Structure 1
Amino acid sequence: MAGVPAAAAGPGATNARPGARAWVVLGVLTFVYVLNFLDRQLLSILAKPIQDDLGVTDGQLGLIGGLYFAMFYCILAIPVGWLADRTNRVKVLAFSCGLWSAATAACGMASSYPQLALARMAVGVGEAGGVPPSYAIITDYFPPGTRGTALGLFNLGPPIGAAMGVAFGASVAAAYSWRMAFLWVGVVGVLTAVGVWCFIREPRKGGLDPAPAQPSSPAAATGAAPGFVDTCRNFFANPVLRNMALACGATQFVTYAMLNFTVLLLMREKGMTLEDVAVWYALVFGLGSAAGMFASGRLIDRLARRSRTAYAYLPAAGLVLAIPFFLGFVSAGSWQLALLFLVLPTGLNYFYLSPAVTLVQEEVRPDQRVLSGALLLLVMNLIGLGFGPTYLGMASDFFRATHPDNSLQMAFYTLVPFYLLAIGWFLLLARSIRRQLAQQEASP
């Protein structure tokens, strides 16, 4: 039986199944996400040659990979999300992809640290319109009950992009220069943006959603589009959405700090070469994080049917299991042993993303999905992307005076309390979900 197109299904089409077009769109959007993260990972993979060429410190690398990038990426995602909810989300995505790809190419032409910093800020401006529109487009191509799996597959973009960034970036840098890696990725991204603009069809907003039993707000009752301020206020007033965003932010503090400095740790303090990075680290990160993304998406589709608290307990369990292996990775005396320990944390650290995106997309109205997804990214990326790499880079500079040979290793040890903070916040999220369920059962 053919799948029901998202653009044709009406409200209440709870039995609709994704058709071939939905899977093609998912594949294209995932490739765009791969390029998004491939570019982001290039800076950390090529940190050593960039340091050697431009003479930047760990702290400066942390700033351009963290706070400077996040200021534009997170904040601009809010007005871009609001615009996308009211216009064509596909066109917004395509324009954004073209912009960040051109800025990526500009990174390869930077001849000083200020020029590189400005180019990275421009990348952040473009990437602000990448992920939130994709979340909403996928949600409108896939009906409830399949969205966790679809978004889990979409969230394979970061691990695939990071793994490709490792393999491609390290190989090109070893054979040519770090600049060529940025230039080539930028060109591919611009061509992809043109393809998205020309060939992806905008789905109807809410076309596969079940009809609500009763309006959840005055705007919903009248059919009026919710205002920007109302959507923001409702997001942060909802304890489930607020705690999910904060728990993800604490988790991303760890994951983005690791993403930006793991290769530098392996090369500078554990003896790995660029050629080794291109093969072995690419395999470990790509396979480990992809398995974590996909497994969590499949698991949340199953577990959330039994209890919505699975949206909180699944990420918390992943982080608890990751901690001892993370410590093994940091303390290992060789890069081979370090990579062996890194396999499980690489997957378990990402058990939060698919549950978080699925919960937010199903908790809000269809015409609030892009902005709500942008608000989720604002909180978790401003905390995680903005401060995780920045903190770790500065911590490494701090430890250099007393531990000149292993300052990054000492800095990595200080990430353990942030693991514990993230676990605690997911437990608070579970309590908020239980309270919400109790209130719904008590209401007439």
Structure 2
Amino acid sequence: MITRDTHATEPMNSAAQAAPSVSPARAWYAVCVLLTAYIFSIMDRQILTLLVGPIQKTLGINDTQIGLLHGFTFAAFYGVMGLPIARLIDRGNRRAIIAIGIAVWSLATAASGLASEYWHLLAARIAVAVGEAVLLPGTVSLVADLFTPDKRGRAMGVFGAAGPVGSGGGLFAGGLILGAYTLSHPVLPFLGAIEPWQATFIAVGLPGVVVAFFMLAVPEPRAAKQGATGGRGPESKIVNVPVAQVKDYIVRNGRTFCAFIVGAGVFYMSVYGFAGWAPTYFVRHFGWSYQEIGKLFGLLMVVAGPAGTLFASWLGERWIRRGVVHGYLRVAMLGVCGITASGSAMVLAATATPAAIFLGFAAFFAMFMFGIGPAIVAQITPAPMHGQVAALFTGALNLLGAGLGPVAIGLITDYVLRDRNAIGSSMLIVFLGAGALAFLLLRSGIRSYGDSMKHAALWRPAHEPQDLASAPPTSAAQG
């Protein structure tokens, strides 16, 4: 049933008319830098999927240990650090905090190439997780100040398109780099000969440090406000919202938050399971090399991934313009159905050609949440809480998605099916189970979604009067 709620959109319309404090050109420069950082973030995270075989050969580890590297350990530290980092983001200089995070994860990725034991690699991946925990909460908070509500979906969609570009670009470039280093036998000064997979980590990680310097030139509306005369401050002006108030708001809107955050996390069990094990599935089931599947998977992610992200953003905005206030949530449900069907078809295909076709469809649907997730956070959350709720969102994606998806597939393969060549059956089990649960969770939030939008627009800190007639002003750019 289509739900129309004109009251939920009135604050958004009035906010859209507020005077900008940052020019559209500078606002879009910020999106471009954040997009580039996101590309390197996903690239540094996903390159591990292409190096499973070589790492297992060098370090002598099994699928479960690889799953821990892919998922649970990374996700646990990402989630644990996410909330304290988000508190800093909601109160501090987001530009500087994000720049530091970029530098940390880039150097940690390069340090992964120096690992000679499993625990060395695990420690480096933990550092990558801590650095990357900064980016999405910081971006949601910053973009919410740079763009008016009616433009945020587009800006977030463009930013979200970087996810599949980073994943696909990392796999494609990683395949080329791994192939080149396999032939050339890399040697580092002072360290001597290293394995091709180690050289690949170093080559992918170091360029990200440059992005940290570009981040320092991104506009920070909070800093601009301090030196401005007249005009209004940014929507997420520095407000020290106590944790108790954040908790009370989430509890009051518990149905919506549970449906969205937990549903998205379960959805991403399929996404991260697919992304983490699809290359290995093609190697084991069809006899491909990691270089071959890296190039194909990378190309599909670069093409189909951004298409999925941008399509999801466009479809969500279209439904919202037609009065479907929960339009983004409907798009998420469509994404769940799509990746469940296409991922299952991929592992059931008899030959490599149809499997590769379904791989492309799965890449398309897997990226839906990258385009709409941050926009949903901005819709249902008061501006001073954007960073903290974005951290809950990314924490769920990582703890449930990255934390359980890849390792569940590894555990089923190692200890239930006890056959490393049954990786496809393990993936199918996770696809079907996670897909069904995610769909039901997301659907349960439809009725309460419009109310949560109104609560977010009308929210005030406890020491201020609750204005039930109008929404807080914004100074976002008419980007």
- Asked whether the two chains share a fold, i.e. TM above 0.5, the reply is yes
Task: Tell me, yes or no, if the aligned pair for 1:105 and 1:186 is still in contact at 8 Å.
Answer: yes
Which residue is equivalent to 1:231? 246
Structure 2 CA distance for aligned equivalents of residues 110 and 436 of structure 1: 47
Q: 1:333: how far off?
A: 2.8
1:378 aligns with 2:395: yes
Which residue is equivalent to 2:207? 188
Deviates more, 1:27-36 or 1:278-287: 278-287
Deviates more, 1:108-117 or 1:360-369: 360-369
1:276 aligns with 2:279: no
Change (3 A) 1:410 1:28: same
1:351 equivalent among 368, 372, 380: 368
* TM-score, L = length of structure 1: 0.88
Change (3 A) 1:434 1:115: same
Counterpart residue type for residue 383 of structure 2: P
1:132 equivalent among 117, 134, 137: 137
Deviates more, 1:327-336 or 1:229-238: 229-238
Q: 1:210: how far off?
A: 12
Structure 1 CA distance for aligned equivalents of residues 365 and 213 of structure 2: 35
Which residue is equivalent to 2:463? none
Counterpart residue type for residue 299 of structure 1: L
Counterpart residue type for residue 373 of structure 1: A
1:255 aligns with 2:271: yes
1:144 equivalent among 122, 139, 149: 149
Structure 2 CA distance for aligned equivalents of residues 155 and 361 of structure 1: 14
Structure 1 CA distance for aligned equivalents of residues 50 and 245 of structure 2: 41
Q: 1:318: how far off?
A: 2.7
Counterpart residue type for residue 297 of structure 1: S
Structure 2 CA distance for aligned equivalents of residues 92 and 301 of structure 1: 30
Q: 1:228: how far off?
A: 2.6
Spell out, residue by residue over 1:301-338, the C-alpha distance to the aligned partner (whole angstroms, 9 max, x if none).
Answer: 22123121212222112322443322220112333321
Which residue is equivalent to 1:7? none
Counterpart residue type for residue 152 of structure 2: R
State how 1:18-417 maps to structure 2 within 5 Å.
Answer: 19-176=24-181, 177-197=196-216, 199-204=217-222, 225-238=240-253, 239-305=255-321, 306-401=323-418, 403-404=419-420, 406-415=421-430, 416-417=432-433
Counterpart residue type for residue 361 of structure 1: A
Counterpart residue type for residue 304 of structure 2: G
Change (3 A) 1:258 1:134: same
Structure 1 CA distance for aligned equivalents of residues 133 and 454 of structure 2: 36
Spell out, residue by residue over 1:333-352, the C-alpha distance to the aligned partner (whole angstroms, 9 max, x if none).
Answer: 33332111122222123323
Task: Tell me, yes or no, if the aligned pair for 2:175 and 2:295 is still in contact at 8 Å.
Answer: no
Structure 2 CA distance for aligned equivalents of residues 224 and 29 of structure 1: 24
Which residue is equivalent to 1:6? none
Q: 1:182: how far off?
A: 1.0
Spell out, residue by residue over 1:339-392, the C-alpha distance to the aligned partner (whole angstroms, 9 max, x if none).
Answer: 111222221233234333212113222222111211221223211111111111
Counterpart residue type for residue 230 of structure 1: Q
Report the 3-state secondary structure (helix = DSSP H, G, I; strand = E; otherwise coil) of the residue aligned with 1:145. Answer: helix
Structure 2 CA distance for aligned equivalents of residues 435 and 126 of structure 1: 35
Change (3 A) 1:134 1:436: closer
Deviates more, 1:84-93 or 1:203-212: 203-212
Change (3 A) 1:329 1:417: same
Report the 3-state secondary structure (helix = DSSP H, G, I; strand = E; otherwise coil) of the residue aligned with 1:111. Answer: coil
Task: Tell me, yes or no, if the aligned pair for 2:26 and 2:218 is still in contact at 8 Å.
Answer: no
Change (3 A) 1:118 1:437: closer
Change (3 A) 1:84 1:437: closer
Structure number with the bigger relative contact order (C-alpha 8 A, sep ≥ 6) is 2
Structure 1 CA distance for aligned equivalents of residues 179 and 203 of structure 2: 15
Structure 2 CA distance for aligned equivalents of residues 110 and 19 of structure 1: 44
Change (3 A) 1:190 1:329: same
Structure 2 CA distance for aligned equivalents of residues 175 and 437 of structure 1: 51
Change (3 A) 1:88 1:331: same
Structure 2 CA distance for aligned equivalents of residues 51 and 188 of structure 1: 26
1:423 aligns with 2:439: yes
Structure 2 CA distance for aligned equivalents of residues 224 and 277 of structure 1: 48
Structure 1 CA distance for aligned equivalents of residues 33 and 333 of structure 2: 31
Structure 1 CA distance for aligned equivalents of residues 103 and 37 of structure 2: 10
Structure 2 CA distance for aligned equivalents of residues 319 and 206 of structure 1: 41
State the identity %. Answer: 27
Report the 3-state secondary structure (helix = DSSP H, G, I; strand = E; otherwise coil) of the residue aligned with 2:221. Answer: coil
Change (3 A) 1:230 1:205: farther
Counterpart residue type for residue 326 of structure 2: T
Deviates more, 1:199-208 or 1:247-256: 199-208
Structure 1 CA distance for aligned equivalents of residues 280 and 139 of structure 2: 31
Task: Tell me, yes or no, if the aligned pair for 1:315 and 1:352 is still in contact at 8 Å.
Answer: yes
Structure 2 CA distance for aligned equivalents of residues 110 and 127 of structure 1: 20
Deviates more, 1:13-22 or 1:281-290: 13-22
* TM-score, L = length of structure 2: 0.82
Task: Tell me, yes or no, if the aligned pair for 2:221 and 2:234 is still in contact at 8 Å.
Answer: no
Structure 2 CA distance for aligned equivalents of residues 312 and 196 of structure 1: 31
Q: 1:206: how far off?
A: 12
Structure 2 CA distance for aligned equivalents of residues 45 and 297 of structure 1: 29
Counterpart residue type for residue 259 of structure 1: A
User: Is there any run of 5+ residues in structure 1 with no aligned partner, and where?
Assistant: 1-10, 213-219
Structure 2 CA distance for aligned equivalents of residues 150 and 365 of structure 1: 18
User: Is there any run of 5+ residues in structure 2 with no aligned partner, and where?
Assistant: 1-13, 182-195, 226-230, 458-467, 470-479
Counterpart residue type for residue 306 of structure 2: A
Q: 1:55: how far off?
A: 1.4
Aligned length: 421
